[in-house]
Structure 1
Amino acid sequence: MNVDPRQRLLPAGAAVVTVVLWASAFVAIRSAGQEYAPGALALGRLASGALALGVIWAIRREGLPPRGAWRGILLSGLLWFGFYMVALNWGEQQVDAGTAALVVNVGPLLIALLGARLLGDPMPPRLLAGMAVSFAGAVTVGLSMSGGGGSSVLGVVLCLLAAVAYAAGVVAQKPALGQASALQVTTFGCLVGTVACLPFAGQLVHQAAHAPMRATLGMVYLGVFPTALAFTTWAYALARTTASRMGATTYAVPALVVLMSWLALGEVPGVLTLVGGALCLAGVAVSRSRALGRSRRVAARQPRPEKVG
């Protein structure tokens, strides 16, 4: 039975869009975070994302998600869209970028463990090996970017809590995608996160009145692209694979952050940073190669048509 190539390429393309935009978010957060407090930045980002998603949802007329999807939407909205973004923004103000990247990259490992425990996701050796290589790369990047005296215990704890919330949110989101569309799950998850961050509304209004336009546009960019677009492409890809494999894919983010910081901010990476980035990408390639290898083995076992004439 021939499989439509689009059924393989579209989820892979969606995953690529996600990791590229999420990598750009770290650069944008570094800029906007200088003018906006963690909660205000999270609320502004989520409100921008919810507005963009709401317009698309209304145009497509997808309606409300089924009742069975709401538990996953509420949990992912509170944990991932809400708590994660506030904790990450706050944590990045307490620690240097390298330490933040190192701690937050515990998230994909937690996704694999929770996915295996709660969702029954398989844990093949190739996936585990790829995640181990990528995590070693993330640690290498983190160590190479860490500076002395730039971290605090509070910051490390906040980044770790962000990683836990991220993993729990992804695992909660996966069952909801079996009952509702990627757009529905993302739109209403983002709306739940926005409502959860409303206590920061006064702070956002006050800081927006004094912040330079560059920082405000950066916050809107975070909402429209790394949130509205990237979370939707993530949900689309997640609905078509396991949470563990999607979590492993995000290990490409540290490598892309290094490249984008180099191009956009002029931060020239050292040799150790480049090595770590290469390890991240190599691990992702290993963890994502399982399905391709298996399909080739299955194809090889199929009887070949006999030649005629």
Structure 2
Amino acid sequence: MNTPNTPHVLPALAVATTIIVWATAFPAIGVALTEMSPLGLASIRFAIAAAFALAWLGYRRPVRMPLADLLVCVLCGWVGAAGYSVLLNMGQTSVSPGAASFLVKTESIWMAMFGVVFLKEAFNRWAWVGTAIGFAGVGVIAYGQPGGIAWGSGAPFVLAAALCSATGFVLQRRLVQRYGALQVSAIMLISAAVALLAWLPQGAVELRAASGEVWLWVLFLGLFPTLIGQFCWTYAIGQYGAARAGNFLYLIAPLAMGLSWLLSREVAGWSTALGGACVLAGVLLVNMRGQTSMLPKPKRATA
């Protein structure tokens, strides 16, 4: 039987768990990449998550999707899950975990811009100012990373990962409303694992030769950020609503930077701190001050 405090405690625990495991993913990837390749790490991570997703689908046996929706869901897995993970791993081979966590936050700006381009939504001046500040922060962060924003350096890969994440979220929004987040997430995880299947033998070889520390972090990545984090986030959205719950995610990047210092003594340079502050400020402006104009303009009534 639920106590009176349960409705308040469980959503708070779900949000806290999501923030912690998603923030820890950035330094965890940094450690795992010291002994594994980007594609090998991604393939192992999604193979672990897909095994649990398959078990869940077999147990719950949810309603089957029509072929058109299933193909969109698979595309979300390829782009928003596999593409995001591979590109983030490639970026973090040279970009620090703290810097990568701030660069990934540009996904919110990409999503807002998708609304302008594809849904004919409008940007007010605050939204444009926020976009400019956010990408200025990207430039400052990239300045302090090896290779800057030149092609082939790490920062463009992380930005491309953020673009993949935003694309996947936009594509899956309608599917989540229709079939539920757990079913959509399970199919995405399985399709991502299938997309990376060709690199699974390579990942297995690398993991067998890896240290015990890397083994633990790879297992953590497969179970916690991908499975538990996603479940807790779905539950939190159901309790708080997407807009309110989404505000908590601004804590991930600062926490990731702090965890990077605790786990690997990574000291953030001035470019990461200043650029990260600009990115967060820009995202906040786009999502809060620009929110009133992020809707289609109303049509004028005719006499």
Please classify the TM superposition score into its range, dividing by the shorter chain length.
Answer: 0.7 to 0.9
1:153 equivalent in structure 2: 151
Residues 118-158 of structure 1 deviation map (CA, whole Å, 9 limit, x = unaligned): 45778688877777777666766666xx3556886213443
3-state DSSP of counterpart to 1:178: helix
Kept after mapping to 2: 8 A contact 1:39/1:197: yes
For 2:180, give the aligned amino acid: S
Rate the CA distance shift 1:236–1:87 in 2: closer, same or farther, 3 A. Answer: same
1:47 equivalent in structure 2: 47
Q: Given the two structures, how large is their TM-score scaled by the length of structure 1? A: 0.72
Runs of 5+ unmatched residues, structure 1 = 291-309
Identity of aligned residues (%): 30
Distance in 2 separating the partners of 1:153 and 1:96? 17
Q: Given the two structures, how large is their TM-score scaled by the length of structure 2? A: 0.73
2:29 equivalent in structure 1: 29
Query: How far apart are 1:206 and its partner, in Å?
Result: 1.6
Kept after mapping to 2: 8 A contact 1:69/1:180: no
3-state DSSP of counterpart to 1:220: helix
1:203 equivalent in structure 2: 202
Residues 188-232 of structure 1 deviation map (CA, whole Å, 9 limit, x = unaligned): 100000000011022112212211122122111101111112234
Kept after mapping to 2: 8 A contact 1:28/1:222: yes
Rate the CA distance shift 1:227–1:106 in 2: closer, same or farther, 3 A. Answer: same
Alignment of structure 1 residues 1-309 onto 2, 5 Å: 14=14, 16-59=16-59, 61-67=60-66, 69-97=69-97, 100-101=100-101, 103-118=103-118, 146-147=144-145, 153-156=151-154, 157-235=156-234, 240-241=241-242, 246=246, 250-269=249-268
Query: How far apart are 1:176 and its partner, in Å?
Result: 0.7
Distance in 2 separating the partners of 1:196 and 1:266? 35
Kept after mapping to 2: 8 A contact 1:23/1:253: yes
Distance in 1 separating the partners of 2:29 and 2:196? 17
Runs of 5+ unmatched residues, structure 2 = 290-303
Larger mean CA deviation between 261-270 and 231-240 belongs to 231-240
Kept after mapping to 2: 8 A contact 1:23/1:257: yes
3-state DSSP of counterpart to 1:209: helix
Distance in 2 separating the partners of 1:126 and 1:14? 32
Residues 241-274 of structure 1 deviation map (CA, whole Å, 9 limit, x = unaligned): 37xx94x764432211112112333334467755
For 2:264, give the aligned amino acid: L
Kept after mapping to 2: 8 A contact 1:14/1:236: yes
Which structure has more relative contact order (CA 8 Å, sep 6+)? It is 2
Larger mean CA deviation between 208-217 and 117-126 belongs to 117-126
Kept after mapping to 1: 8 A contact 2:49/2:226: yes
Distance in 1 separating the partners of 2:235 and 2:122? 20
